[in-house]
Every structure is written in structure tokens, then in C-alpha cells.
Amino acid sequence: MESLSFYVHIPYCLKRCGYCDFNTYTPAELREGASLEMVSNDYIDAVLREINVAHLQAPGSVPTIFFGGGTPSLLPAKDLGRVITAIKERWELSVDCEITLEANPDSVDDAKLSAFLEAGFNRISFGMQSAVPHVLQVLDRTHNPDNVARAVVGARRAGFESVSVDLIYGTPGETLEDWHTSASAAIGLGVDHLSAYALIVESGTKLAAKIARGELSMPNDDLMADMYLLVDSLAESSGMSWYELSNWAKPGHESRHNIAYWKTSNWWGLGPGAHSHLNGVRWWNVKHPSAYKSALFSGQSSIQDQEQLTSLQMRDEKIMLSIRMREGIELSTLSSEQVGRVKGYCQSGHLSERKWQAGSLQLTPQGRLIADRIVRELVV
């Protein structure tokens, strides 16, 4: 039976971070003077309607469910649990189904963490971003860095099987020493999984406006490279191995949900703006929560648009995604011309010579710094 993962988008935040261009909304952005409860009270009902649609179109067993956002941990556990229950009632969940909750460390306490576990979650990912106050200030992050450790301890005490933290590096004004402090603090929490993403400044964000006005400046490429190599070294020495360009994990704690994306498996994205992929067809929902709810409550489709991927698109996407992973790309799947174009990266130290001799293309730490350049050589 084919697998079908679910992504559940929770589009609400109490405050918009200055770097964020995700499809998220504060209550005031949706309705003047509104509270979170006022704008979200019927949201789960709409998601349940989309689950009914998915059940008619997408059979399969469910290996992973991931609640992202936004800030999913703002909603009551019983409401998120309704989504998990609805999926369980309509599909067969794998015995070891991974069910992940993204959480702001300020939004949880011991009682809430226990309630999330009881609702069916077994993995939690905390948005840490940094342990340095001035870096968090530039990012407009609202959480107290001390609360990350409290949240991780609480998740362990509640009984979560896997705990992850997310970091961002390359914030304007962040030094290598700042980044060492943050990466060391994250690893020192004893988590099972670590994600570290380079900051991308998106146009239209508050942070982009400050950079355009000259109030802030981005770090140079050499510093960004040093930051990546530093976190890779710290993670590896602590027992967390890289399994994807921006992710490290203890054995058995890799994010199986994200691996489903990187392997272009089937997944259904529930919620406004969520993307889905099913057997070579990709579609995405209307972005605004009000439009999403209105469509589903009136019996209409929530899909904004869709596309049928061509064989060339699927080939190129497989290359772009596979190269990010530790397994890399089997050389037998590449043409002799493609192999010839990238072979020199073995001599330059960007590809593992040992893996190449064994028949696969695997990036070295230095190679991961120029992954996009190597991809361009392969998909030209």
C-alpha cells in the first residue's frame, strides 16, 4: 500500500517575526480587535472538511503527520487531537507513525505538553533560532531563550519520544562567537535532532526593509560558510550525524516527515496555502484562512491551482532533493555527460572520493556549501 503523509498548517501567530514571510496571520491582521480564539474557533472544522475530501481521493497508509505554521502550539491540544483522530479513522496509521508538533517554547507548560502527548503527538520541534538576546531581537522573536531549556525538559518529562530544536544562522550583526554560543546551547540541551537554516531575507518583510534602509547588513559568504561548518562539527562530535543539508540527528531520530518531502513521496497539505503532491500532481490551497474556510464550508474546493509535473521536472527535482541527503545520488541514475561534468568535484574535495568509487555522489561538508552550484551542473 502506498504511503500518504499529512502536513497540517496552523496559520496563526500572536506576533509576526521580522524575517517571516510564511503564510501566517496574527488575530489583529485577520480582524481588528480579534483574539486568537475568535479567529480560530471554527478553523479545525474546516480542516476536517478537507480531510473528508482527501479520503475520497488519496488512499494509503500514513507514516507521518506534521503540524506546522504559524504556531500550532497556540491551539488547544484537544483541537489538534481532533485532526489526528479524523486521520486515524479514515486511514491506517503505520505502527511507528511519526506525529510532530512545531512549538514556540513560550507557548507550552507541563500541563499543555502532557495534553499534546495524550492527543497523539510523539515528536516535538521547538523554534529556538538563537540563544543570544541581540540576535533574537533582530529576528523579532518573542520567546525568552531561557524557556527553551525549560520546554525541552518539560517535553522529556511528558514522554515525547523525540525532541528537536530549530536554529537560524546568518542574522545581521551575528558573529561567529554568537553562533557558537547558540549552536552549543542547542546541542547542550541533549536533543535528538537539530535543524540549522541560513537566514534568507525575503522581500516585503520588516527585516528586508531595515536592510534596504541600511540599518542592518547581512554577513558575508565566508562567515556564513564558517557558521555552517561550525554547527556541522559540533553536531557530529555530539553524536548527531547530518542526514540532510540542514539537519542532524541521533540514530533513529531523523525527521521521517521531511524525508518524505525530499524523496518526493505522496503527501497531503491541509490548510490555507498548504501544498500537496500525489503521484506527480502538485496543488496548493488558497492562501487566506477566511477564503479557505469559506470554500470548504460552502462545499467548494479549497484548491487555488495545480500542475502535472513533467518527466523532466520530476528528474530535475529528484536530483535537487537527493543531493541534499547523506545517501546522495546513485551515479547509475546519471548520464555519462552528467557524471563527466561533476567528476572534478571529487578532486576539489567537494564530493566524497570514497563514495564516488562505491558508485554514489555524496557531498562533503565543503561540498554542501556549494550544493546549488553542483546541482546546476547536473540539471543544465
List pLDDT tens digits, range 29-63. Answer: 999 888 999 889 899 999 999 999 999 999 889 99
Please provide the DSSP assignment of 282-347 as one string.
EEEE-SSHHHHHHHHHTT---EEEEEEPPHHHHHHHHHHHHTTBTT-EEGGGS-HHHHHHHTHHHH
Write b or e for each residue in 197-213: b if 16 or more Cβ atoms lie within 10 A of its Cβ, otherwise e: eebebeeebebbebeee
Please answer whether residues 232 and 248 qualify as being in contact, where contact means their C-beta atoms are separated by less than 8 angstroms: yes
Alpha carbon distance 304, 307 (integer Å): 11
Please answer whether residues 140 and 19 qualify as being in contact, where contact means their C-beta atoms are separated by less than 8 angstroms: yes
Q: Is the pLDDT of residue 145 over 70?
A: yes
List pLDDT tens digits, range 315-342. Answer: 999 999 999 999 999 999 999 999 999 9
pTM equals: 0.96
Q: C-alpha angle 92/251/240, rounded to 5°?
A: 130
Q: Is the pLDDT of residue 3 over 70?
A: yes
Q: How confident is the model at residue 285 (pLDDT cuts 50, 70, 90)?
A: very high
- Go through the domains of the chain in sequence order and give each one's CATH number: 5-262 (3.20.20.70), 312-379 (1.10.10)
What percent of the chain is modeled with pLDDT above 70? 99
What percent of the chain is modeled with pLDDT above 90? 91
List pLDDT tens digits, range 345-356. Answer: 999 999 999 999
Alpha carbon distance 35, 50 (integer Å): 25
Cis peptide upstream of residue 70 (ω within 30 degrees of 0): yes
Mean pLDDT score of the chain: 96
List pLDDT tens digits, range 224-268. Answer: 999 999 999 999 999 999 999 999 999 999 999 999 999 999 999
Q: What residue has cell string 514522554?
A: 159
Collapsed DSSP state (helix, strand, coil) of residue 243: strand
Please provide the DSSP assignment of 59-97 as one string.
-SEEEEEEEEES-GGGS-HHHHHHHHHHHHHHSEEEEEE
